[in-house]
Structure 1
């Protein structure tokens, strides 16, 4: 059973920090790209690289404590569950996503309360764990999804969101409206509705696992009870049905090694797939479409389709569910695995995720990559099915856009 609770959120004090919107940034792995937040921009404590090398985490902790001391950020006087409306443009069209920001009780993956859809890697998980230990706060919320087919939670959020305390624009072109709901009756109603649902991780797999490790450390070294702050993680929860829940694909670059020359990749693709010359600029929607491969100019660009009988499934593990087997990203990893004759960990050293299609194409044209695999966006239904079947996609297989913003609400584990 999912358990969400109110928290005394730590938020920017506008009288000291100024307008809040420009101070926000995406989570750690993207935050470093946003350099316009000024002295009090959240990236100064959230970004992985703060320019201090091995001292990044200690620097983040010192800055966080200084901000608290100088009233740049302050804890709300009462526990609240926060309703967040995020307005942004999608291909020039205004879109809005509504979510709940709250503490979510940590549950091991095996409990099937919160379900992942991607594998994680050691580096980002360890980096976030060190930051969590140093700062003792969740600086950015995870992004979780739940099903709300009848709109019960949507309607309750709309009723609460009548008098927002914040309505501001960020440096990413979005606008944020935030309402702090401090009435216990609202907390209980939202919690009871969410408790009936499974939660799915959209973004934040590494941070969730770091929080699990930190929780267990606290259990072993402190007097921690069931409601200790370390038993929870900060999250933004949105309904799968919300039109503002957008998932984009991450494409794949293949680099390095004598085994993965463009010619070897082409031979492998012809062996296992049906290749057709690409003649459109966007990936078509087709149940048999795996993706598109961009090779050096002499070899061209090809759309990749499953052959009759889907022989490429021989490249994939036999113990996976139908949703996992149906996705282009898993087919491509299996195919590249065959080129390298290697396991997934070794293949990962030569397969790099990239979000922007144009960047992937440029890397091939410039000779920095042997090939780029451009993948169609997976549907939300398919991603949830992967999670429910207990399978995991390769790391960084999806890009939920926009991410839940860091700095809007912070969960201090000392409160």
Structure 2
């Protein structure tokens, strides 16, 4: 086990890195919140077959309140780190090794019955399940586990960003509240079940019925505009709202839709109900970099 800490944009997030037992979604232990596609899983399965190594941790969220785990990680992080490094996007990382078997046992006991929400890595998780079934073996072989980075949902450094949508085709949306600028539009959707829209150099805010704006935007607006056409063939995604406006102005798309960051608790609630969100509904930031820890799926194989 390891403690990982990342500092970015004046924030600090602290994570646990460990091996997580792979379990099918129907067990309600590992909870997905996004739909996946076949192509990316095929690529990742080919990589696993070739390397037989988990090259990066998948990212999961857990409810840490009452488990005592965040407090354990805090005590470990009070020591000097084993190493530190600078990562992408000016992130500063520190790393501690947990070698004490008593701490291992304590964390295992605390989290054994706690479900986890996939924050990032849906395709990789499903690929790991497929690989484990393919190679077979007992319940304790390495391929029955995945490398996992686990973050407490209450961690003050946990950041989720919105992903905006640009439609390549579709009729105009009418009936929204007019706004004079992009900034005014973004401010108007903050904290609301609503979406901003941009078309023909005009901004508006669409009030939506429901609990999670990205879900309601797709069900009440995008799906209606596209009809039976596959949304993934007609949507572009960006985290930069100004880029979405530029794409529409340049003719890359016909309309842009802007969202506020989703509430992680609402995402967890939907996942617990067995519901999935549209593609790219969440973007947790910053993502753990590859290469911090490797996990050999064949223990006697050298890298």
TM-score bucket (shorter structure):
over 0.9
Q: Identify the residue that residue 103 of structure 2 maps to in structure 1.
A: 186
Verify the 8 A CA contact 2:60 2:116 in the aligned structure 1.
Answer: yes
Secondary structure of 1:148's aligned partner: coil
In 2, the alpha carbon distance for the partners of 1:151 and 1:115 equals 19
Q: Identify the residue that residue 249 of structure 1 maps to in structure 2.
A: 162
Superposed counterparts of 1:77-88, under 5 Å: 81-88=1-8
Q: Identify the residue that residue 130 of structure 1 maps to in structure 2.
A: 46
| Alignment pair present for 1:275 and 2:171 | no
Q: Identify the residue that residue 294 of structure 1 maps to in structure 2.
A: 198
Verify the 8 A CA contact 2:20 2:148 in the aligned structure 1.
Answer: yes
In 2, the alpha carbon distance for the partners of 1:284 and 1:277 equals 9
Query: How big is the shift at 1:289?
Result: 4.1
Could you say which structure has the higher strand fraction? Answer: 2
Q: Identify the residue that residue 128 of structure 2 maps to in structure 1.
A: 211
| Alignment pair present for 1:330 and 2:234 | no
Verify the 8 A CA contact 1:86 1:96 in the aligned structure 2.
Answer: yes
In 1, the alpha carbon distance for the partners of 2:92 and 2:272 equals 33
Q: TM-score, normalised by structure 2?
A: 0.92
The ranges of structure 1 where at least 4 consecutive aligned residues each deviate by more than 2 angstroms after the TM superposition are 274-279, 281-289
Verify the 8 A CA contact 1:121 1:395 in the aligned structure 2.
Answer: no
Query: How big is the shift at 1:198?
Result: 1.1
Q: TM-score, normalised by structure 1?
A: 0.68
Q: CA, structure 1 residues 189+155, in 2 after alignment: closer, same or farther (shift >3 Å)?
A: same
In 2, the alpha carbon distance for the partners of 1:193 and 1:212 equals 24
| Alignment pair present for 1:340 and 2:242 | no
In 1, the alpha carbon distance for the partners of 2:288 and 2:109 equals 23
Q: CA, structure 1 residues 288+380, in 2 after alignment: closer, same or farther (shift >3 Å)?
A: closer
Q: Identify the residue that residue 10 of structure 1 maps to in structure 2.
A: none
In 1, the alpha carbon distance for the partners of 2:294 and 2:191 equals 42
Query: How big is the shift at 1:283?
Result: 3.0
Aligned residue pairs: how many? 295
| Alignment pair present for 1:146 and 2:32 | no
In 1, the alpha carbon distance for the partners of 2:67 and 2:23 equals 26
- Give unpaired runs (5+ residues) of structure 2: none
Query: How big is the shift at 1:352?
Result: 2.1
Q: Identify the residue that residue 71 of structure 1 maps to in structure 2.
A: none
| Alignment pair present for 1:265 and 2:172 | yes
Which structure is higher in RCO with an 8 Å CA cutoff and minimum separation 6?
Answer: 2
Q: Identify the residue that residue 202 of structure 1 maps to in structure 2.
A: 119
Superposed CA deviations along residues 234-287 of structure 1, whole A, max 9, x for unmatched, are 11001000011111111111004xxx1xxx222xx43xxx43325516333566
Secondary structure of 2:69's aligned partner: helix
| Alignment pair present for 1:400 and 2:302 | no
Superposed counterparts of 1:16-415, under 5 Å: 81-89=1-9, 94-150=10-66, 152-161=68-77, 162-219=79-136, 224-256=137-169, 260=170, 264-266=171-173, 269-270=174-175, 274-279=176-181, 280=184, 282-284=186-188, 289-297=193-201, 300-306=202-208, 310=209, 325-334=210-219, 335-342=221-228, 346-415=230-299
Verify the 8 A CA contact 2:7 2:91 in the aligned structure 1.
Answer: yes
Verify the 8 A CA contact 1:357 1:374 in the aligned structure 2.
Answer: yes
In 1, the alpha carbon distance for the partners of 2:241 and 2:67 equals 35
Verify the 8 A CA contact 2:58 2:148 in the aligned structure 1.
Answer: yes
Larger radius of gyration between Structure 1 and Structure 2: 1
Verify the 8 A CA contact 1:289 1:303 in the aligned structure 2.
Answer: no
- Give unpaired runs (5+ residues) of structure 1: 1-80, 311-324
Secondary structure of 2:35's aligned partner: coil
Query: How big is the shift at 1:402?
Result: 0.5
Q: CA, structure 1 residues 144+304, in 2 after alignment: closer, same or farther (shift >3 Å)?
A: same
